[in-house]
Amino acid sequence: MSQRIFNFSAGPACLPEAVLEEARDNLLSLGSTGIGILEHSHRGKAYLAVHEQAVALIRELGQVPDSHEVLFLTGGASLQFSMIPLNLLSAGETADYLVTGMWSQKAVVEAQRVARVHEACSSADRNFCYIPTRCEYSPRPRYVHFTSNNTIFGTQFRHEPTPPAGVPLVCDASSDIFSRPVDVSKYGLIYAGAQKNLGPSGVTVVIIHKDLVAQGPQDLATMLQYRTHADENSLYNTPPTFGIYVLGLMLKWLKSQGGLEAVARGNEEKAGKLYAYLDQSRLFRATAEPGSRSLMNVTFVTGQPAVDEAFLKRATREGLDGLKGHRSVGGMRASLYNAFPPKGVDALISLMRDFEQSHANPS
Ligand SMILES: Cc1ncc(COP(=O)(O)O)c(C=O)c1O
């Protein structure tokens, strides 16, 4: 096996070696079928078993109640920015959006094409470095939308916001889905591209309350209706079969780690170590406010772009890849999703310590 390096990419992101190896082993023949996983018909028994297992594991690990459907869609979280208002909002209605970063801003733009959007809060005033603690909802929102983890700005909600009574909560959980347990019964809809915490790109997981499926308009394009996918168990058209297969392997791996509570503890440890280092560093500092810090994407800077650049170059040389921060924050971003190994965090801290020492005492 070639030397694998530490991949801090924000997504697609690293996967457990056990998952990659099992996928590799089934490329030529899925089990004893003699047909590789990429080649199986989505209508055949072998693939249907894969599909059912992935749905069952989402339900089991996420403790998804029977009131909710589990869907596997395509088009990424970005298509959900449109499907959600198209299915849930009628002209004349208002949806409330919590604006905590670029992805929530993009979601707002798509909702505005359909109906009115009310910004219940925003942290744009300080380049999204914090999660607002107060929301002002409109008188009768159709739903409340938030982004649980802000991949670019390195902030994360500790708990879900509380919408007005009876108003469905809609969550873009693209960058922290299944990184910790959540009470799905509090949500009308949760969506996420799988490519950060749950597997490869190409599959979007949507967990949606059955009432919301039933309330969607029937005159929408067939593929854009949640009803279509719910009625056909996400098999109305050809689903991304390989992506769903790897998603299933990833879910099996999460289960083998002890489920979401154990996974959450691991994620807290990984990010906690890195923030602890940042908090005592004289060179590096975290960009997100302490109470709002993400356990998934740790964003940090030196405050000197040339020094950031030098650090990134050295990191790449030493086999730590994908650390460049998004251009709107600059500096560095270490993405520590579910599959990211703890020893990668140790390697990063050790490199930062060394870099900091040589920066303080140039030879
Ligand atoms: C929080 C969040 N929402 C939405 C998206 C867009 O996802 P996709 O590329 O699957 O459309 C991303 C991608 O990084 C994201 O981090």
Does ligand 1 lie within 6 Å of residue 174's CB atom? yes
Output the average pLDDT for the chain. 97
Question: Percentage of the chain surpassing pLDDT 90?
Answer: 98
124-152: b (≥16 Cβ within 10 Å) or e: eeeebbbbbeebebbeebbbbbbbbbbbb
Q: Does position 318 have pLDDT exceeding 80, yes or no?
A: yes
Cα 350 to middle of ligand 1, angstroms = 30
Nearest C-alpha to atom 10 of ligand 1 is from which residue?
76
Nearest to 49 by CA among 33, 71, 34: 33
Q: How far apart are CA 151 and CA 103, in angstroms?
A: 8
**Contact status, residue 242 vs residue 38, Cβ threshold 8 Å:** yes
Does ligand 1 lie within 6 Å of residue 101's CB atom? no
For the stretch 248-264, pLDDT in tens is 999 999 999 999 999 99
At residue 362, the pLDDT reads: 86
At residue 309, the pLDDT reads: 97
At residue 1, the pLDDT reads: 53
**Per-residue confidence at 2, pLDDT binned at 50, 70, 90?**
low
Phi and psi at 138, nearest 5°, equal -75, 165
Question: Percentage of the chain surpassing pLDDT 70?
Answer: 99
Q: What is the mean pLDDT of residues 145-172?
A: 98
Q: How far apart are CA 24 and CA 37, in angstroms?
A: 10
Instruction: Spell out the long-range contacts of 344-349 with Cβ–Cβ below 8 A and sequence spacing 24 or more.
Output: 344/6, 344/8, 344/320, 345/270, 345/273, 345/274, 346/273, 347/6, 347/318, 347/319, 347/320, 348/6, 348/8, 348/274, 348/315, 348/320, 348/323, 349/273, 349/274, 349/277
Phi and psi at 79, nearest 5°, equal -70, -30
Does ligand 1 lie within 6 Å of residue 80's CB atom? no
Cα 174 to middle of ligand 1, angstroms = 6
Beta bridge partners of 97: 119, 145
At residue 211, the pLDDT reads: 98
Cα 197 to middle of ligand 1, angstroms = 12
Does ligand 1 lie within 6 Å of residue 175's CB atom? yes
Cα 172 to middle of ligand 1, angstroms = 8
Nearest C-alpha to atom 4 of ligand 1 is from which residue?
77
Q: Does position 296 have pLDDT exceeding 60, yes or no?
A: yes
Q: Does position 190 have pLDDT exceeding 60, yes or no?
A: yes
Nearest C-alpha to atom 1 of ligand 1 is from which residue?
174
Does ligand 1 lie within 6 Å of residue 225's CB atom? no
Nearest to 84 by CA among 72, 68, 95, 71: 95
Q: What is the mean pLDDT of residues 324-347?
A: 97
Domains of the chain: 17-256 (3.40.640.10), 258-360 (3.90.1150.10)
Nearest to 51 by CA among 264, 331, 242, 313: 242
For the stretch 59-95, pLDDT in tens is 999 999 999 999 999 999 999 999 999 999 998 999 9
Q: Does position 204 have pLDDT exceeding 80, yes or no?
A: yes
Q: Does position 363 have pLDDT exceeding 90, yes or no?
A: no
Q: How far apart are CA 349 and CA 340, in angstroms?
A: 14
Three-state DSSP at 184 gives: helix
Nearest ligand 1 atom, CA 103:
3
Q: What is the mean pLDDT of residues 141-162?
A: 98
- Catalytic residues, which ones? 103, 172, 196
Q: What is the mean pLDDT of residues 221-244?
A: 98
Does ligand 1 lie within 6 Å of residue 76's CB atom? yes
At residue 3, the pLDDT reads: 85
At residue 56, the pLDDT reads: 98
Nearest ligand 1 atom, CA 193:
10
Nearest to 47 by CA among 207, 235, 195, 229: 235
DSSP string, 112-151: HTTSEEEEEEE-GGGTT-S--S-----SS-S-EEEESEET
Q: How far from 153 is each of 16, 198, 293, 296, 363, CA to CA, in Å?
A: 25, 21, 9, 11, 35
DSSP string, 50-110: HHHHHHHHHHHHHT--TTEEEEEESSHHHHHHHHHHHHH--TT-EEEEEE-SHHHHHHHHH
Using CB atoms within 10 A of its CB, is residue 220 exposed (0-12), middle (13-18) or buried (19+)?
middle
Q: Which amino acid is at 326?
A: H
Cα 103 to middle of ligand 1, angstroms = 7
Q: Does position 158 have pLDDT exceeding 90, yes or no?
A: yes
Does ligand 1 lie within 6 Å of residue 202's CB atom? no
Nearest C-alpha to atom 9 of ligand 1 is from which residue?
76
Structure tokens given for 300:
């940090």
For the stretch 262-290, pLDDT in tens is 999 999 999 999 999 999 999 999 999 99
pTM of the model: 0.98
Does ligand 1 lie within 6 Å of residue 148's CB atom? no
